[in-house]
Amino acid sequence: MLLNNFYTVDELTKSENELQASIQFHPEHEIFEGHFPGQPVVPGVCMVQIVKEFMQLATEEKLMFSKGNQIKFLQLLVPVSGEAIQVNISWKKEENTFITNADFKKENVPVFKLSGTFSRILS
């Protein structure tokens, strides 16, 4: 889990099939030492993981990312202390899956978009 280590949540609003959050990345996190030294960038896989974490929180289900229909990295996301990133997620439940759309915005400009499916992990 990346929450509270890699990023923190400043605000969170949740409704039946939508979630909006304001998050901040921790620029001092060790992952940025390797991605990339001297020019840190939030890894794309971490953005997908953040969407998964919010989906698990919102649905109260243990999930896995099972299908990426479209994943777009529109701009480099550089971690800046004190800078808020808006996260918007909506989903539709179909049996044991959640058809999901998500985006991250920095200063109201899209930097990441995801359209895909999260599946319930059945015990």
What average pLDDT does range 95-118 have in this prediction? 97
Q: What is the mean pLDDT of residues 43-52?
A: 97
Q: What is the pTM of this model?
A: 0.96
Give the pLDDT confidence of 29-40 residue by residue, as tens digits.
999 999 888 899
Tokens for 110, please give them. Answer: 């899209």
Closest CA to 57 of 89, 95, 105: 89
**What confidence tier does 94 reach under pLDDT thresholds 50, 70, 90?**
very high
Chain centre to alpha carbon of residue 82: 18
For 39-75, what is the HEC assignment? CCCCCHHHHHHHHHHHHHHHHCCCEEEEEEEEEEECC
Domains of the chain, start order: 7-120 (3.10.129.10)
Mean pLDDT of 47-57: 98
Q: Which residues lie closer than 8 Å to 45 by C-beta, 6 or more apart?
A: none
Helix (H) or strand (E) holding 91: strand 85-94
Q: Say what the pLDDT of residue 37 is.
A: 85
Average pLDDT estimate for 42-62 = 97
